[in-house]
Amino acid sequence: MRFIANITFLGLLCSSTCSFGNAARSACNSDVSSFKMSFQKQTDSTEEDSAKFKVDTTRFQPKSKRTVFSRLESKSDNVDPKKLAIFPAFTLQQYLKGEAAGLYVQEPSGEPGTVQNMFIRGTSQPLVSPREQFATQPLVVLDGIPLVGEHPFAYDIQQFKFDRIGPATNSLSNINMDNIESVKILKDLGSTSIYGPRGANGVIVLTSKKTATVRKINFESYIGLATPSPVTTINGKFENSFRRQFYDKYTANGSYSDIDTYPLYLSDSLNNDFYGPANWNDLYYKNALSYSVNAGISGGSERANFRFGVGTTTSGGVGDKTGADRYTSRFQINMRPTDWMAFTAIINANRVDRQRNKNVRDRLSQVNYIPDLSSPIAPNSLKYGQYLNEFDKGFDNNRSNIVEALVRVGIDLGAFKFNSTFGVDNNEGYRDIFYPRTLLQTTNYASNYYGYSRRAFLDNTAVYDLKLNDVHSFNFAVGSSFQYDTYKYNYAYAYKGANDFVKLNLLVTDPNAGNYLEPFVFKRELVWKFLDKTRNNMISFTGKASYNYKEVYTFSAMLRADASSNQQPTNRWFYSPIFSANWDMKKDFLDKNDVISDLNLRASVGRMGRAEQFDNFAQGPQYTAFIGFTGNLIAPGYNGFATLTRPYNSGAIPYGLEWAYQDQLNVGIDAAFLKNRIRASVDVYSKEDKNQLLAVPGAAEYGYNTVVRNGMSIANSGIDVAISADILPSTNKVSWTSSINLNFNKNKLKALPGGLSELIIGDRLLKVGESVDSYWLLTNQGIYNTDADVPVGANGEKMSFNAVTLKGGDPKWKDLNGDNIISNKDKTLQGHALPVVAGGFNNDFGYKNWTLSLNMYFNLGRDLINQEMANRFDFVNREGLNNINSVREVTYWEKRGDYSKYPLYNPWSSAAPYQVNQDLFLEDASFLKLRTLSLGYDLTKMMKKKMPRLERFYVYGSVHNVFTLTKYTGQDPELVNYTGYDTGYGMQIPRTYMLGVKMDF
């Protein structure tokens, strides 16, 4: 048996069940069977490791028909990229939604190219800010390159943290599934440990299509039409009627003047701008075109071969004229100068341009300037059109350049092999903005951003195979890895330019440059510039030993030593032991059983360090350049002088902070029955992320509100299940394959720093023994219709809320502790922002050359806070404030939600009856979606007569986002970010109709 080691493996996961050449040929000969669940019994398992062991596919081909060590991984980890490629996705997250047990994807908005989140087997941290969101994302590896993400450190200078400054484009929007040969989701330590602390949240391994020794050409293209869902528009008459019922109930004679000044835009019913036709949707919602064209060519000889591919993809958004365009190119060359040496070079070059939304909230949060918000955008298309025309006087250019490169050298001396890889991932972004004064009440605005996320790495691995006889075999591997991450941004913005006709780059201050007009266009005191850089370097050493007995029992032990520059000098290193085992029960005692085709038991247990992603914990006490003042948190100086101050708001950082780490146990079984017609994989896991950092109360005598300490632990436990069955085998004229994957996950807070039992962070309560994704809410039991209905306590005083005596028209909140005072003590943890059960259900049918596929996606046990409805009913407080929370978009004139389910509280009450932190706005957001319905026809046999070299000619039509079954009364249960609050800003996920073709020659 021959084993291949790859540089990016810091240990060994070897081989395949057949050669790379067979894999390449089988990828080109696509038929109905290629659309089956990819965790079925494989005839080629090399794909799962090709991103890590890819050296020279024509030279290093494993000869064994049975892989031993690779069976330490679950077969359900594989996802079929051929099925994914028919979905008009623009990001990797969209492709993978519902496709693998244990992987949960959030899509907060249907706007193309925006940031989405992925979680593998739950969250390791409470999701209270962008920091935790970033730190809980899985690692994505493309062709052996561990991709870098966009660091959220720029949020530190942002007053409003809705979107990160800069492009804010999904860093995985450069992935085109048409170019991908295999997709693998790694979840347990037995498979993720090779990536070390980078893979603590799970790993997604992507391998591009391979080179070939003969000429091969592939071509894929689709065109689609994205259509918006119907909406119900409203105007001033509807809003006036909605508010009138509160005035009729809580004011004398329903008079508007008894309590406050009624909004001017609703006061005049003859005002056609607000009381006329509500036809703004004609300009906001539009059908949008999506299309993609990709082509590749590969060829060469056994000594040298290559693959070159180019492509372009356009994804149109159905709202606000949003969209995204991607341009990709990829080149790979393999060379074998001698029989014992191989060389591989890969370069991916991509560009992504994004047309962003024109949301007022996002614009004002970017500008840090709040104009008069007393009147919203008018719902009349004429007025709304005039407003949109003002954007044509400015610009918002948003683009990203992404380059990934890798060079690998492999040496094969028989039993000894050595690989060395150097790689770079560079993701740089630009955003240039100019808003004319007509959008900001005579104040124009310009800003420029340039930033990058960059990762460079060098990996080395040496492997030695020792086969004593046909019974005993060993494998030993040692490796080292060096990784250098750098994140940087330059950012500038300015107000009150001389006019709206001169727009300049604020980052350029060279008088010799053509656009150096700063002293004349923008006054120096109205220009603000920022720059920042953060680094994270990591070094790792790995040793791994594997033993196999008769290809029935496999045991593996790994020891890692990892050091990170973001850990404090006294605790730079962390040591991780991982143990894995596999038992081939089929071969051991069921070899002659015809019913059971495969039965494999595997287990892994170990500990893995969790490197800190932020450098501000690495050196103990520190200073910051931001002094800030009320209403502006990002002032870098005072009266023109740079300043340094302690970061009192972010908490004291002491010495002696240690590594966080993860303990994990996974037990899995893979089984197949009736000649592999039925396949199943079940994994039971328990993982606990321990000793994590958290800011807790303390150090108040030094001016700090909190102090950062180790000690937070969060446990996730659950089950991954994947089942697939060939109900009607593909050998028949009619075929039917059905499959389901699901994950049940439960998280629990096990410990807080300093032995605390609970801790309040913003509107969240972290309580030991409870889940970390639950909402902290008051329990609503109705309404007090009169003052007499309000309970009187033992002290003779009526029930109160935060020192406000409750009256008729106020909510009836449950008094849990019986003290006749409604306070935080009466809040309870309710619901889950993350689903308890998530997965997908697929059915693939075939008849002769026809294929029909249905793909469903579901979330169960997931709850949302409908903040959009809370804001709608809390019109009094929102109308009276002039801050970012009072912004009303044009979608304000769209009726969403069920108005009848909410009591008519007194909106003027000091008790804030429509505050969002009550279970009145908590809704069951479980859903089932028919995500894809696809019909295809294989024309290969028909066309092969005219084109003998043709290997595949497949045409298809599909419909995506067909329907959603849910109890949720809001816009869409998917359109919510990691907080679990539906703010209403999520743009529609459109229904898309597509026609496509795939050809291989």
pLDDT at 628: 62
CATH topology of domain 20-224+289-620+655-758: Maltoporin; Chain A (2.40.170)
User: What percent of the chain is modeled with pLDDT above 90?
Assistant: 74
Token readout for 855 is 């793909």
pLDDT at residue 678 tops 80: yes
pLDDT at residue 58 tops 50: no
Tell me how far apart the alpha carbons of residues 17 and 468 are, in angstroms, rounded to a whole number: 22
Report, in angstroms and rounded to the nearest whole number, the Rg of the chain calculated over CA atoms.
Answer: 30
pLDDT at 527: 85
**CA distance readout (Å), 961 to 94, 98, 110, 656, 995:** 12, 13, 11, 51, 15
The distance between the two most distant Cα atoms of the chain, rounded to a whole number of Å, is 98
pLDDT at residue 182 tops 80: yes
Token readout for 99 is 């496709």
pTM: 0.90
Tell me how far apart the alpha carbons of residues 765 and 126 are, in angstroms, rounded to a whole number: 10
Helix (H) or strand (E) holding 219: strand 216-227
Tell me how far apart the alpha carbons of residues 666 and 662 are, in angstroms, rounded to a whole number: 13
- Is the model more confident about 458 or about 876? 458
What pLDDT digit, counting tens, does each position of 317-352 carry? 999 999 999 999 999 999 999 999 999 999 999 999
Tell me how far apart the alpha carbons of residues 474 and 463 are, in angstroms, rounded to a whole number: 11
Question: Would you call 731 exposed, middle or buried from its count of C-beta atoms within 10 A (0-12, 13-18, 19+)?
Answer: exposed
DSSP letters spanning 17-77: SS-HHHHHHHHHS--GGGGS-TTSPPS--GGGGHHHH-S-TTT-----SS-SGGGGS-GGG
Tell me how far apart the alpha carbons of residues 440 and 363 are, in angstroms, rounded to a whole number: 10
Q: What is the dihedral of CA 350, 158, 388, 867, to 10 degrees?
A: 100
Contact 506, 528 (CB under 8 A): no
pLDDT at residue 31 tops 60: no
What is the number of helices (H) and of strands (E) in the chain? 17, 42
Q: How many residues does the chain have?
A: 1001
Cα 406 to chain centroid, rounded: 25
Contact 798, 821 (CB under 8 A): no
DSSP character at residue 80: -
pLDDT at residue 630 tops 80: no
pLDDT at 424: 97
pLDDT at 784: 96
What pLDDT digit, counting tens, does each position of 74-111 carry? 666 889 998 899 999 999 999 999 999 999 999 999 99
pLDDT at 74: 64
pLDDT at residue 981 tops 90: yes
Tell me how far apart the alpha carbons of residues 31 and 33 are, in angstroms, rounded to a whole number: 5
If we measure between CA atoms, which residue out of 833, 993, 742 comes closest to residue 99?
A: 742
Q: For residue 802, list its beta bridge partners.
A: none
Contact 302, 328 (CB under 8 A): no
pLDDT at 11: 33
Contact 170, 115 (CB under 8 A): yes
With a CB cutoff of 8 Å and minimum separation 6, the contacts of 542 are 10, 11, 194, 196, 477, 478, 479, 480, 481, 558, 559, 560, 561
What pLDDT digit, counting tens, does each position of 117-142 carry? 999 999 999 999 999 999 999 999 99
Contact 51, 206 (CB under 8 A): yes
Token readout for 223 is 């065109």
Res. 264 pLDDT band, cuts 50 70 90: confident
If we measure between CA atoms, which residue out of 40, 87, 77 comes closest to residue 220?
A: 87
